Structure 1
Amino acid sequence: MEAETKNDLGVDEKRLHDDEQNEKAAEAAVLATPTKIAWDGPEDPSNPLNWPSSRKISIGIIISLGQLVCLMTTSIVAPALPQIAKDLGLGASETQMSFSIFVLGQGIGSLFIGPLSEVFGRKPLWVSCTFFFILWNSLCPVGKSKVMLIIGRVLSGAGGSCGVILSGPIMADMYPKKDRGKSLAIASLFPYLGPALGPIVGGLVSQHVSWPWLFWVMSIFSAVIVIAGMLIIRESYKPIILKHKADRLRTQGVMEAADAESSPQSLLSKIGVSLSRPLRLLATRLVVQLLALILGLAFGTYVLVLSFFARVFIDQYDQSATSSSLQYIAIALGCTLSTQTGGRLMDFIYARLHTRQPEGAPALPEFRVPILLIGGLLLPAGLFWLGWSAQGHAHWIMVDIGALIFTAGDFLASQAALAYILDEFPTHAASAGAASRIVSNILGFTFPLFAPQLYDRLGYGWGNSLLALIWIVVALPVSLAIWFWGNKIRRVGKSKKDE
């Protein structure tokens, strides 16, 4: 009997390779017809799964930098909010809204960007939405008008969300399920430096130049990235690649003329169906609802912590605005360490659970849940640590350690939930991701609005403890339910339209 080959993690490498080949073969098995075309076998070089690693990594880095722009833009205005409020005559609530409404814009953008990328392709949506972000972000400070600031922030948030919305689907287009964690680690290589870089850059720019340059610096940075993306990124959505292939063959006379699906009427119909898909998935699929709840609580709590974090060190430790902004490095470290190490750990656990399955049994999305549970335990632990360290005036490094643990748990849980969605919705991953992020962005917008009242009334200790208890009562039971009854949960509300 042939000996089983093992990789350095002790996983059956041959079986994992066979699973990857089966995944490619399943795509290649689509029958060619006058209106449909398949890959030229499992090793077709035009299939993104077969692209060279160098190309995949290059695309992943560009997408990662695009996310970095979005996350930096979310928080870069935080150090300058007092000056912006003074110059524009903003009240306390208006000032807070000018910060968090960018997140609401991301939620609005996700409703359009995700589904439209399944009609027109990933690259056209990413490029056009990035230019849309550059336009409105540049207009935010023009005229120093509160109306223009609010409108610009919400619309730039809508455009800037393209990196966040499309990163997971693009990486899923290029990597098989067994490498899902690695692919998400590549896509998250840079963006989670944003929570640290945003306030630091914001503090330096607003202190040494003027706050309008906060927006223009990010627009210039984004322009460089989108130009690089236009040169490096290739279309990765497989139905669009096959459609382009069919169009070339029809032009060459190899295939029959395009059918009625190419008519403008059909295109409008496809756009309508695609745009309705995220809301339909959120309304009908129980698994999407549960994952949206987890992602929403994680993201809402994260944005809330971002909004008050600098205040802790200014109020409790008498640090300057510049010194307090440096504390965001702890948050960035927690995010980056968790996504990079968590990605490899996720793939290891996924492979081990899969190889324990009977021969021929499919890998299940539930194999992502162990990472979700690990993150789900670290998140409240970090909140308790962070809150009570600040409340008790412990050394500032203790607050930073709590922030690191919290953000590590937050992003481990979010990464696992996203991987679950990508596994469950391989064709409509962007729409399913958009559906799950609707709740995230709504909570990300609303949570920071009550942050001042929360900590003024309860203090940092009990305020963060309340957030931790909400997570323990809501998110942990939901995660356990998905682990034990995921197969039944995934079937609730499922239809052929989801395939």
Structure 2
Amino acid sequence: MIFQGEQRATDIETGAQITDGQQNLTEPRLPGEEVTWGGPDDPENPYNWSVSRKVSVALVFSTSQLVTTMSASMVAPAMDQILKDLHMSPSAGQIAFGVFFLGLGFTPFLVAPLAEIYGRKPIWLIGNLWYIVWNSLCPIGFSAALMIIGRFMCASGACVGVTLTGPVLADMFPAEDRGKSLAIAGLLPYLGPALGPIIGGLAAERLWWPWLFWILSAFDALALVLGFFIIRESYTPVLLRRKAEFIAAQTVPTGAPKKSLTARLLIFHQDLSSRIGPAMKRPIRLLTHRPIIQLIALAMAVDFGIYTLVLSTFASLWIKQYHQNETDASLHYIAIALGAFVCAQAGGRLMDLMWHRMKSARPDREPTPEWRVPYILVGLIPCVAGTFWYAWSAEERVHWAVVDVGVFFFTAGNFMFSQGLLAYNVDEFTSTRAASASAATRLGTYLLGFVFPIFAPELYERLGYGWGNSLLSFLYGIISMGIIVVLWIWGEKIRAIGRTAEDSKERVL
């Protein structure tokens, strides 16, 4: 029987399969028991949760992402002080800045499969606790090595917010509400690129730069406590597994030996353990066997790479070109925050509006991820235009407001572009594989986020802000426009490549 969200249950021992894009989901059961939802209106099904519960969960994940985005950017205004106190060269400082993105890029290959085995909530809690510990250790001892290692390790914990937010939204919201759900989840993290540097600038000038790390650790500790009480598990296979265990405990025959129940659960958990290895390989399999993942990963990588390059050099632009202090320089990040915030709220509504218009124009067709492509194009245009605007206004040292307006349009378009790609990805892989798909697409994203800031100083020294950013914007526009055309014309065929072979091998808990 297929319920809301196209979810159904079959025997766990026969193997569970998923049809990508269909969300035909097989759920676990104990031997001899079939476990499904109680009906299409079962209140335990995350699709049927109240709006207030869904929004509360989304806001907690939004707070977690805010910590991640603030951690990525907060050290930029204080970089000169950090380099001086830790006796680091400028290139080493850029590594300390960018290594955070390496942690965000590689750790999801571990986090995503674990979240698809044990559930979203426990992995989220452990990841945030891991972040708090390592982020607090970063400034201890004024060690350059500990700073670099600590930044990587704390990013390994912080990645849970970025990796799991999309899948959790897919657990709770149908495709027609994807834009609204992304707007809720993006309410806070899109402010991170501004709040991080602003707090960083104030701490660098008025406090002591280690407080950058300790303030964020305290803030994430608060988010961790809120998450412990507010977040409820939303991953359907885990919820039905728990239901199966509860039924098993309630249906043990009177007078039956206790080992009967223990043996049944042992069989189930042995089967669970045998799936850990294949689950760990799932993100790699998606990345290597699904060309659609490779296309999305390339688009997101180029988009994020140029964003981190601007982000990492934005403070130095105001300090060196406009001779402003750290606090004044950090305030210009408000333009980045406004662009991101406008994208998160207005962009999310625009995404849903465009989806419904596509639905009205094609009432006889099933919705496809390609319906997100026009929105992706809408994001590309202001991103490229804003980059040129920012590049040449900064090069000519025109009034600071002109530069900030260019950055506003760049950021709004940049985030709309990535928001559309995320929606496309979630539409294709639904909730059951969204975590693994997210991990697969973000590896290249954060690799470029690590590499771009390293060569940024030399790029601007040789070409200046005008030609340097213009070159990157031109390459970004050509690559992104090519991917948009490919997705719109051949997206459905590309999505089908590798799907059947993968479905025959993979099992989802």
Per the shorter chain, which TM-score range? over 0.9
Stretch moving more, 322-331 or 347-356:
347-356
CA distance in 1, matches of 2:375, 2:171: 22
Look up the SS of the partner of 2:232 in the other structure. coil
How is 1:252-401 mapped onto 2 (pairs within 5 angstroms)?
252-253=250-251, 258=264, 262-264=268-270, 266-359=271-364, 361-401=365-405
CA distance in 1, matches of 2:237, 2:457: 48
**Deviation, structure 1 residue 110:** 1.2
Letter in 1 for 2:325: S
**2:42 aligned residue:** 44
How is 1:78-477 mapped onto 2 (pairs within 5 angstroms)?
78-253=76-251, 258=264, 262-264=268-270, 266-359=271-364, 361-426=365-430, 427-477=432-482
**Deviation, structure 1 residue 28:** 4.9
Stretch moving more, 183-192 or 390-399:
390-399
> For residues 314 and 25 of structure 1, do their structure 2 counterparts lie closer, same or farther at Cα, with a shift above 3 Å needed?
closer
CA distance in 2, matches of 1:89, 1:29: 59
TM-score, length of structure 2 as denominator length: 0.90
CA distance in 2, matches of 1:115, 1:36: 25
> For residues 41 and 25 of structure 1, do their structure 2 counterparts lie closer, same or farther at Cα, with a shift above 3 Å needed?
farther
CA distance in 1, matches of 2:5, 2:129: 37
**1:30·1:37 contact (CA, 8 Å) conserved in 2?**
yes
> For residues 465 and 311 of structure 1, do their structure 2 counterparts lie closer, same or farther at Cα, with a shift above 3 Å needed?
same
**Deviation, structure 1 residue 315:** 2.2
**1:49·1:176 contact (CA, 8 Å) conserved in 2?**
yes
Tell me which of 59, 62, 66 is aligned to 2:60. Answer: 62
**1:106·1:157 contact (CA, 8 Å) conserved in 2?**
yes
> For residues 314 and 415 of structure 1, do their structure 2 counterparts lie closer, same or farther at Cα, with a shift above 3 Å needed?
same
Can you give the 5+ residue segments of structure 2 that lack an aligned partner in the other structure? 12-26, 254-259
Stretch moving more, 115-124 or 102-111:
102-111
**1:23·1:176 contact (CA, 8 Å) conserved in 2?**
no
**Deviation, structure 1 residue 280:** 1.0
**Deviation, structure 1 residue 35:** 4.7
4+ residue segments displaced more than 4 Å: 28-33, 254-257
> For residues 25 and 191 of structure 1, do their structure 2 counterparts lie closer, same or farther at Cα, with a shift above 3 Å needed?
closer
Look up the SS of the partner of 1:44 in the other structure. coil
**% of aligned pairs identical?**
48
Q: Which has the higher contact order (CA 8 A, sep 6+)?
A: 2
Look up the SS of the partner of 1:43 in the other structure. coil
Letter in 2 for 1:27: Q
Look up the SS of the partner of 1:26 in the other structure. coil
Letter in 2 for 1:107: G
**2:205·2:326 contact (CA, 8 Å) conserved in 1?**
no
For residues 153-187 of structure 1, the C-alpha deviation after alignment (integer angstroms, 9 at most, x for no partner) is: 00001101111111111111111111011001100
Look up the SS of the partner of 1:279 in the other structure. helix
For residues 225-273 of structure 1, the C-alpha deviation after alignment (integer angstroms, 9 at most, x for no partner) is: 1001100000000110011011100010179964776234x33331211
CA distance in 1, matches of 2:248, 2:496: 39
> For residues 321 and 330 of structure 1, do their structure 2 counterparts lie closer, same or farther at Cα, with a shift above 3 Å needed?
same
**Deviation, structure 1 residue 36:** 4.1
TM-align CA RMSD: 1.9
CA distance in 2, matches of 1:44, 1:425: 24
CA distance in 1, matches of 2:467, 2:222: 44
CA distance in 1, matches of 2:421, 2:469: 23
**1:102·1:157 contact (CA, 8 Å) conserved in 2?**
yes
CA distance in 1, matches of 2:34, 2:305: 43
CA distance in 2, matches of 1:411, 1:232: 28
Letter in 1 for 2:368: L
> For residues 482 and 118 of structure 1, do their structure 2 counterparts lie closer, same or farther at Cα, with a shift above 3 Å needed?
same
CA distance in 2, matches of 1:169, 1:367: 19
Look up the SS of the partner of 2:498 in the other structure. coil
**2:9·2:34 contact (CA, 8 Å) conserved in 1?**
no
Letter in 2 for 1:405: F
For residues 30-77 of structure 1, the C-alpha deviation after alignment (integer angstroms, 9 at most, x for no partner) is: 689635411111100000010000011111111101100111111111
**2:4 aligned residue:** 24
**2:257 aligned residue:** none
Letter in 2 for 1:415: Q
Can you give the 5+ residue segments of structure 1 that lack an aligned partner in the other structure? 1-21
Look up the SS of the partner of 1:236 in the other structure. coil
**1:5 aligned residue:** none
CA distance in 1, matches of 2:194, 2:351: 25
**2:488 aligned residue:** 483
**Deviation, structure 1 residue 355:** 2.9
Stretch moving more, 202-211 or 182-191:
202-211
**Deviation, structure 1 residue 146:** 1.1
Look up the SS of the partner of 1:304 in the other structure. helix
Letter in 1 for 2:191: L
